[in-house]
Chain A
Amino acid sequence: MPFFRITLLRSGIGLPAKTAGVLKALGLRKRMTTVYHPVTPDVAGQIMRIKELVDVKEVETSLTKDEMRAARRPDPGYYIETRKPRDLDGKTMGALKSRW
C-alpha cells in the first residue's frame, strides 16, 4: 500500500485556526517533521489544504518515528571486546591496575 511521506517545510505559526487544525490532524508539529499517511482521498484533501507548507513524496513503505531515528543513527564505532569480571553486586573484582 503506498504512502504519502509529508514533511513540513514552512511553519504554521500565524495561520488561521482551520489550517492549524489540518496540521494537527496530520501530526505535523514542528518544521521538518516527517509523517507517513496512506494514500487516500481524505489525506489527499488534507494535503491540498496545506500544499504550500509541505513537501510530499509517494513511497511504498511507511516508517515509525523510531525507525526514522534509527535510519539516521551512525554506527557506534566500538564494541566491547573483554569485560572485567564482576561479582554479584556488579562491582569489578580485584583492584584495577594502573597499567593500561
Chain B
Amino acid sequence: MAMLAPTFRRALLEARSTLPPTYLLPFRANITTISHTLETDNVPDPLIQSGHHISKDLKQKVQSHPIQPKVAPRPVPSIPKASANARKDEVSTEFTANMKSMLPLLHSQPPHYLTVHIHGRPYLLTAGDTLRLPFLMPNVKPGDVLRLNRVTHIGSRDYTLKAPEPVKGTRDAPKKVFYLDERLFVCRAMVVGVEQEPLRIMEKTKRRQRHVKHVKSQHQYTVLKISEIGVKSLEEYEGTLEGLIR
C-alpha cells in the first residue's frame, strides 16, 4: 500500500478538478469540524479512491488469495541486553517531600561538597580542589572545561543529600547504582594538565640466567581543578523541572 502513495497523490490531483455533485457525496461528510480548505491533508476516502481504477478481476484475485506474511526475522532489541555481571546506572529523578523541605536548608549553607563518580570511582570534592585522576583522560587538552554529572552525595556543614545505596547484582539481575538528579547541582572542572609519575624500572629475569630485562614505566595522569560547585535553590530546581531554565 505504501507503494501506491504517488498514485494516491496523482489520483487526488485528478479528483480535485472533477468533484462529483454535492448530493452524490457520502452523508458523513456533511458536518465536520475539519476544515477542508485549511487542512488539505484531510481528504475523505471516497475522494482518494475515486481516482483508483482497479479491475474487478484483480480485486477478486486479491480477496481470494490473501498473501501470507513471511515470518519476519526477530528484531534485535535496541535496549541493552541482560548479561551476567551487568551494571545499570540510574539517575533518580524523584523529588520527595523530605527533599523539598530540606533542600533550602542545604542550599543556605555554602560551601558544599560533592561525591562525584568518574568511571564509577568516587571522589569527594569541593570548590578549588585539585584532583589528580589515576588515569590519562583521552581527548582533552589543558583548558577544556568538563561538567561532572554523576554524584551520590551533596553535603554542607550540617546536611547531606544521599542517593540510595547500590543494589547488589546477581547472576541475572544487573547491579544498580543510584545517582542524584543532575539538575540539583552544578560541578565544573577545568583540565589543568597532565602529570607523570617518576620513572620506574622493573627488572625481569630468571634464575641461573645472566640476562636481565629492564622494563621502563612512566604513567601519565590527568589533573583537574574544580572551578565551580553549586547547589540549586528550590526555586531554581523547580524551574528546571518545568523546563524554564536549562
> Interface residues, chain A, CB within 8 Å of chain B?
5, 7, 34, 55, 57, 59, 61, 63, 67-68, 70-84, 86, 90, 92, 96, 100
With the chains together, A53 CA to B6 CA distance in Å? 63
| Contact residue among B80, B189, B190 (Cβ-Cβ distance under 8 Å from A71) | B80
Report chain A residues within 8 Å CB of B143.
Answer: 83-84, 92, 96
Tell me the nearest residue of chain B to A68, going by C-beta: B83
B146-A81 in contact (CB<8A): yes
Interface SS, B side: loop
A77 with B149, Cβ < 8 A, contacts A34-B84, A59-B82, A100-B225 known: yes
B148 within 8 A of partner (CB) = yes
* Subset of 23 A-B contacts with CB under 8 Å: A5-B84, A7-B84, A67-B83, A68-B84, A70-B80, A72-B86, A77-B116, A77-B117, A77-B118, A77-B119, A77-B149, A78-B118, A78-B149, A80-B139, A80-B145, A81-B145, A83-B143, A84-B142, A84-B144, A90-B141, A96-B142, A96-B143, A100-B227
With the chains together, A74 CA to B120 CA distance in Å? 5
How many chain B residues touch the partner (CB < 8 A)?
A: 39
With the chains together, A71 CA to B80 CA distance in Å? 7
Tell me the nearest residue of chain B to A85, going by C-beta: B143
Report chain A residues within 8 Å CB of B120.
Answer: 74-75, 77
State the Cβ distance, A58 to closest chain B Cβ, in Å: 11
B81 within 8 A of partner (CB) = yes
A71 with B174, Cβ < 8 A, contacts A80-B144, A81-B146, A100-B227 known: yes
A78-B83 in contact (CB<8A): no
B162 within 8 A of partner (CB) = no
A74 with B177, Cβ < 8 A, contacts A34-B84, A55-B171, A79-B149 known: yes
Report chain A residues within 8 Å CB of B81.
Answer: 61, 63, 67, 71
| Contact residue among A59, A76, A83, A92 (Cβ-Cβ distance under 8 Å from B119) | A76
